[in-house]
Amino acid sequence: MARPQTDLEAGREHLLDIATAMIEERGNAALTMTELAALAGMSPANLYRYFENKDAVIEAIAGRWFAPKVAIMEEVVASDLPPRRKMYEFYARRFALVRAMWERDPVVFQTYCDVGEEHFEVVRSYVDLGDHHLGEIVAEAMADGHFAGLEIDETISLINQMVAPYVNIGLMAMVMPKLSEDKLARIIDALFDGLSAVDRGARAVTGLRAA
């Protein structure tokens, strides 16, 4: 007889609690299906009713990690804020959330950075989702006359390079004390006030001359 979906979901959540604790205490290498089953007080065969393998567990943990960030992105994109303010909130709210996690335990935070790097193929879908939502904001900004002469994909790429410390958790962990919402706001203002395809004199020349 099939178990009620609510029981399956509750069982999955309980297993994810245990798996998360294992990773936070001892790192990704400590997570094995055999030990997860043992800590959960069930047989490996029963565990596989909930997760088919370790990769499925990692995917579910990633889903937990990114769920509040995805909710923030969706809420901001759906808001009636002007594009400039919308882009700031798009990054600032997620940054504040991640910074709070870092402040609670920098060691555990670094563990998540390591897990994300090791399983980047799982993380990639969330990165792509972020780019999709950023593209929506960029399109609104372009409709208001910003980012003149640039295509949406190029604009997304340029913005990603400039705000990387506020979204790339590995880089964020290295420079966290130097990051702030005020600095982020100045970056966003600089993007809106100056980012375009116009050559203002900074492009490379063919050679250097003595003054």
Q: How far apart are CA 185 and CA 92, in angstroms?
A: 8
| Regions of the chain with pLDDT less than 70 | 1-5, 205, 211
The pLDDT of residue 184 is 98
Q: For 100-119, give the DSSP string.
A: HHHHH-HHHHHHHHHHHHHT
Q: How far apart are CA 65 and CA 28, in angstroms?
A: 15
The pLDDT of residue 101 is 93
Question: Using one digit for the tens of pLDDT, what is the confidence trace for 119-160?
Answer: 899 999 999 999 999 999 999 999 999 999 999 999 999 999
pTM, 2 dp:
0.88
Q: How far apart are CA 34 and CA 49, in angstroms?
A: 14
* Nearest one of 39, 45, 34 to 18, comparing CA atoms: 39
Query: Taking a C-beta distance cutoff of 8 angstroms, is the pair 62, 119 a contact?
Result: yes
The pLDDT of residue 211 is 65
Query: Taking a C-beta distance cutoff of 8 angstroms, is the pair 23, 105 a contact?
Result: no
The pLDDT of residue 1 is 45
Q: How far apart are CA 133 and CA 117, in angstroms?
A: 22
Query: Taking a C-beta distance cutoff of 8 angstroms, is the pair 138, 152 a contact?
Result: yes
The pLDDT of residue 28 is 80
